[in-house]
Structure 1
């Protein structure tokens, strides 16, 4: 049956190439991916999946299910398809989305023999207000025995970690005044923002080395001769674990409150993006995927060990509710970084498309192992249960 899955993907290769090219050439920002989600959902429907669009109140999200009707494992594949402003699919989400449906459809072709169920999730806006966060909160992934996605990169890398992250906004409200004629009548909201930055810089010596706190001032006043009555600071607060991020946020909020007291301004705090949890790779599931990658011809010496991510992924939220992996697959020979025009072009290249199909095959074969080998699945589930304690 493994051979039949590979044969199917080889026969349908051009169709999947065309889909990834279409998405790549029609980049859409997060929660605006109408063309991308539509072409992915339509292709799944053509292959017998029951597709529900607009799930969890997210207009460009979807849940596509293929149920064998026979009890068995439930395997989930994640699709991403949002682009970046100005530079398009410079993170290769055109490949990720197509890879997800290709793996899901290939797996569906053997379900009559194996039993079980396959669900392909369309998860919008990974780059900003991650759709997986909302979908995880509403319980869509609780049913899964395993969840997978593969991300393009310049190397093969095993699934690793990512940083938990909160996106925090502080708004400060002061009182305007002429900055030269009557400054004593004003309350400077920008001063409160500056003191917040200074306070955060002062705690950097006293946080763990994995901590990242970085911010901007999107609003700081309108004219130099007017005391700013309104100013805004936005920060990402990141660290290895959700618990430590929660502690850090308390400290950062206290700093902003102190800055408001010092200047006489009023402060309001909010989250301007959804919070991402840290990625917890299921090593058992990761091992199965790596074995399939090697069986497909990738030399073990080419596959790098777990990547300790310095960024944040909404796949982290998935990994806390079911066993999950987020490995990387090589799409170019040069060390192009994600979020660059060079990487965008690599994601549209022939090499990128070939890598996409390799990733789809490895995920499909991994799913087959889980569907047919209860001992392997039990080991994966036991590892996940221990990680929750």
Structure 2
């Protein structure tokens, strides 16, 4: 095996030249994805756009992947160090790309194109994973369980946010569908013959609301009622809702779930309804980003003009949940947040979706692609870190631990 080069600066310049060469194509991709949002597991056009761009650039393409129709793997290079770049594909119901997955995908592809240009010199294999259904479907969890990340030594992605943050406080989460089944009756003529499924849901909501004051810090419960009857003069025979249970760690989530389930059971007991609780997705874990990779990300993002005043001031990282967290428990991984000018809006709001195109979004796309690729170059050319990654050793930043300090430049 040829020695790994030490001159990262030369390689980074080549990466930047390549990303600059593809800039208009990447921006066009992000805009096309934004204009044509698709929901979880149905991201066929998004998958085609991303996979087609990489195949045209010479990447070896495998699709569908791991039994998921819209997932794909695109690979370039044959080095011993394999890096996985995650390109999220799905949008949110009603508000489209209000979490910036159009930028996530384009940044991942930009980083991959840049790294492919130096794959031989860094002895790397560059893999892009098109990952469906982050918004509640657990696409990465399924890909992880089915072996799509096998052979990868590190995994990276970057996520848009209203400001630059090194990482998030990623909460473990369960997604549940709750269904009550009762019996219809005329609400005026014979209400005593009915078993009210809508009331069962109300009882459960009240019980959850009362329980919230006794939950551990960081535990959250929230949901929506999808149906609770068709007409006001008919006792509802069925009521359904979707709920999310969140906690700081997997262990805390396991302790939370039976307490919330008892609230749903209370609704069934009080009304006489039948209760079904069904998982809608695999459990998302808490996140443990790799300390060394996060340190390299920060240095490279700062070289592009990004700054982290909130992190340096010790402000609490923002809370969210992602299936990238499960990946971080399996191999070294990072999920930094890159700022866009959202005019005060936050993710999952229509105004944030609107901000995911335009000059600020374009800058975040390019900066994200470069910082991701440069982080890999630094990791690949650092003998000690490269050896650790090849050995499959994680160095996780545990929840609540201090974040990497900034550069003094």
CA apart distance, 1:387? 6.5
Displacement, 1:372?
1.7
Which of 30, 54, 70 is the aligned partner of 2:64? 54
SS of the residue aligned with 2:372? helix
Q: Do the aligned partners of residues 377 and 115 (structure 1) sit closer, same or farther apart at CA in structure 2, a change above 3 Å counting?
A: closer
Q: How does 1:303-322 map to 2 (within 5 A)?
A: 308-322=317-331
2:6 paired with 1:6: no
**Matched residue, 1:21:** 31
Which among 335, 344, 352 is matched to residue 326 of structure 1? Answer: 335
Q: Check conservation: 1:157, 1:306, Cα contact below 8 A.
A: no
- Supply the distance in 1 between the matched residues of 2:355 and 2:206 (Cα, whole angstroms): 41
Pairing 1:159–2:167 present: yes
State the Cα RMSD in Å. Answer: 2.4
Q: CA deviation at 1:236?
A: 1.0
Q: Cα gap change, 1:262/1:320 in structure 2, threshold over 3 Å: closer, same or farther?
A: same
Partner deviation per Cα, 1:74-126 (whole Å, 9 max, x = no partner): 11111013223343322222111011011012112112122131111101122
CA change 1:264–1:2 in 2 (3 A) is: same
Counterpart CA distance in 1 for 2:20 and 2:93 is: 33
Structure 2 residues not aligned, in runs of 5+: 1-10, 400-409
Shift, 1:307, TM fit: 5.9
**1:351 Cα shift?**
2.6
> Are the counterparts in 1 of residues 169 and 318 from structure 2 also a CA contact under 8 Å?
yes
Which residue does the alignment assign to 1:232?
240
Aligned to 1:258: 266
Given that 1:158 and 1:306 are in contact with CA atoms closer than 8 Å, whether structure 2 keeps it comes out as no
The structure-2 alpha-carbon separation of the partners of 1:303 and 1:267, relative to structure 1 and needing over 3 Å to count, comes to: closer
Against the structure 1 CA distance between its residues 340 and 382, is the aligned structure 2 distance closer, same or farther, given a 3 Å change threshold? same
Question: Contact 2:290–2:395 at 8 Å: present in 1 too?
Answer: yes
1:25-174 correspondence to structure 2 within 5 Å: 25-68=35-78, 70=79, 72-174=80-182
1:355 to 364, 367, 370: 364
Question: Are the aligned partners of 2:342 and 2:352 in contact in 1 as well (CA < 8 Å)?
Answer: no
Distance in 2 (CA, whole Å) between partners of 1:303 and 1:268 is 43
Contact persistence 2:168–2:319 (CA under 8 A): no
Question: How far apart are residue 158 of structure 1 and its match?
Answer: 0.5
Q: Using a 3 Å threshold, how does the CA distance of structure 1 residues 333 and 166 change in structure 2: closer, same or farther? A: closer
- Distance change (3 Å), C-alpha of 1:351 and 1:179: closer
Displacement after TM superposition at 1:329 (Å):
1.5
Scaled by the length of structure 2, what TM-score is found? 0.87
Residue 382 of structure 1 and its aligned partner are, at CA, apart by: 4.3
Q: Which ranges of 4 or more aligned residues in structure 1 deviate by more than 6 Å?
A: 385-388
- Offset, 1:235: 1.4
d(CA) in 2 for partners of 1:232, 1:193: 8
In structure 2, the partner of 1:268 is 276
Q: TM-score, normalised by structure 1?
A: 0.91
Question: Is contact 2:342-2:355 (8 Å) kept?
Answer: no
| Alpha-carbon spacing, 1:115–1:213, altered in 2? closer, same or farther (3 Å) | same
- Following TM superposition, by how much is the alpha carbon of 1:18 offset from its aligned partner in structure 2, in angstroms? 1.8
